Amino acid sequence: MERNNFIDFKALEKELQAALAADEKYKRENAAKLRAVEQRVASYEEFRGIVLASHLKPLEQKDKIGGTMTVPWNCYSTQGKTDQDEITEISQEKTLFQPETSAEFYRDWRRHLQSGPERYQALIQLGGPKLGRLFQTDVGFGLLGELLMALANHVKPVDRSMVLGILDSLTNTGRFTLNLSLLSHVERQSCRDLFQKLQAMSAARPQQEVLSQERPGGLQEEERLRGLRGLYQVD
């Protein structure tokens, strides 16, 4: 077989495993959301706790208190790891943030991007179209609020158009309205702050520059901003 026809089966297997893991995570968290709604939980924090704990399994009869523990209590995050996996993860922290699936985004966002500036820069680096493709099915529980907070706390005038593109792409993701309704009070306030900052940046720009920056369809950025305020339910 010619060299350029070589198929990397190891890479294909890795991609398949990541896709299966993402699908399993989505189904598990979706089922937890439905259970929480049926139980009429009293607060957002309780709802969030049910979803975040969806991967945990109840103890069986053989799991006696005082017995010999052969595995960690929560083995979900460590199952199947080897020393080589740990080395690989450390090296990945130093590479460019380039997730190809939503599962890879979740992993790197929560594990490697700890600070607000790092998260903001990662979002600007990916851009709206890439984020829209990654989260075409669903942004994922709790993630929309984290994205909005990262943007609100670190938005820069030079990135205004890019941020608008990100906000626009997120509105086209699956379950956007549901995820928006589940924002905490702090996350919703961050959303308001973000739009206030974007509006203030617009007011500070020369009128000629504002009018010259139009989308291909002819929609000016100010009209675009007003439309997004409505979609994000910002007063």
Q: What single string gives the DSSP state of each residue in 62-98?
A: T--TTS---S-SS-TTTTT--HHHHHHHHHHHTS---
* 125 and 226, same domain (yes or no): yes
- The Cα 186–Cα 142 span in angstroms is 12
Structure confidence by residue, pLDDT tens digits, 19-36 = 787 777 777 777 777 777
In a domain, 76, yes or no: no
229 contact partners, CB below 8 Å, separation of at least 6: 195
pLDDT at site 147? 95
75 falls within a domain:
no
Q: What is the pLDDT of residue 56?
A: 59
Q: Do the domain assignments include residue 89?
A: no
Q: Which domain holds residue 128?
A: 100-235
Q: Answer yes or no: do 45 and 148 share one domain.
A: no
Mean pLDDT lowest for which of 3-7, 65-69, 161-165? 65-69
Same domain, 219 and 104: yes
pLDDT surpasses 80 at 159: yes
Residue range 167-176: mean pLDDT, rounded: 92
More confident residue, 98 or 77: 98
Q: Is the confidence at residue 124, as pLDDT, over 70?
A: yes
Residues 6 or more apart from 180 whose CB is under 8 A from it?
A: 144, 232, 233
Whether 73 is covered by a domain: the verdict is no
Q: Are residues 44 and 109 in the same domain?
A: no
One domain, residues 39 and 104: no
Are 48 and 129 in the same domain? no
**Each residue's pLDDT tens digit, 12-23:** 777 778 878 777
49 and 111 assigned to the same domain: no
Q: Would you state the pLDDT for residue 96?
A: 67
- For the cut 80, the answer to whether the pLDDT of residue 41 exceeds it is no
In a domain, 67, yes or no: no
Task: Tell whether 183 and 125 lie within a shared domain.
Answer: yes
* Same-domain pairing of 35 and 113: no
Report yes or no on 77 lying in a domain: no
Is 14 part of any domain?
A: yes
Q: CB-based contacts of 24: which residues, under 8 Å, 6+ apart?
A: none
44 and 106 both lie in a single domain? no
Would you state the pLDDT for residue 4? 55
pTM: 0.58
Q: How many structural domains comprise the chain?
A: 2
Residue 117 falls inside a structural domain? yes
**For the chain, what is the radius of gyration of the CA atoms?**
21
DSSP category for residue 158: G
Mean pLDDT, the chain, integer: 76
